[in-house]
Amino acid sequence: MKVVILNNAAEVAAYGAQIFVKHINAKPTAVLGLATGSTPVALYKELIAAYQQGQVSFKHVSTFNLDEYLGLSGSHPQSYRHFMNGQLFDHVDINKANTAVPAGDAANPLEACAAYEAAIVAKGGVDIQLLGIGRNGHIGFNEPSSSLRSRTRVKTLTRATIDDNARFFGPDEFQPHLSLTMGIGTILESKKIVLLATGESKADAIKATVEGPLSASCPASALQWHEQTVLIVDEAAASKLSDIDFFKHIEAENQKLVHQFAT
């Protein structure tokens, strides 16, 4: 697990976006795993800017989103399909037919989850998966106690997650308590994983992810199993790590290697 500690949220977004830009330019048909929530928005703005400046094209890219609320259609303003259209897809040259979000309004959610897994496999798997992290360590909607080998499925949201997401819903608006989400096992099959975290509220989750035991009590700790995971965090999110200077030293040495072999 690579941990990159940067000064602020803007640097986190820029660093993460460049990973995606470089990957897409190296493989124009890349399969991206995408995430919703407040943290990825800044990264999506960076990707839109890169596209507008001619640095990257999404024309042949395919995407799979992590999750969706059960009971919401893609046209619902609080759905994650609507979110992705507004935050990224409407602003780049991606073919929306190649963008997949779990079907929150599926007549049979269990069948929809199995079909989602099959669609990922048919595309050859996810090349690079973007993640945020919840205060309780959840990734996607894999809440604490989720099986570390779980697959795409229907998942009940914890009260903490419901409360965190309540700000996106009006006082009289229906807020789902169930979701469809890629499983932790599904996420771990991605070839590369990029997790972003900013702010002091994520510090406990980041410490548990990096330094804690591998445990279902912190779903993100399963990323310790993955050979190509990079956590990009700001100073606040990293504040409870035991040896911040160690991670900064490693990243400085890694950057020296990058520059050495790039010349």
How far apart are alpha carbons 69 and 107 in whole angstroms? 14
What residues are annotated to the active site? 67, 136, 138, 143
How far apart are alpha carbons 174 and 101 in whole angstroms? 20
Q: In which element (H, E) is residue 39 found?
A: helix 38-52
How far apart are alpha carbons 209 and 196 in whole angstroms? 12
> Residue 171, Cβ neighbours under 10 Å: how many?
5
CA-nearest of 140, 78, 75, 83 to 113 is 140
First-to-last C-alpha distance (Å) of the chain: 26
Q: In which element (H, E) is residue 251 found?
A: helix 244-262
**CB contact set of 138 (below 8 Å; sequence gap of 6+):** 144, 146, 158, 161, 219, 220
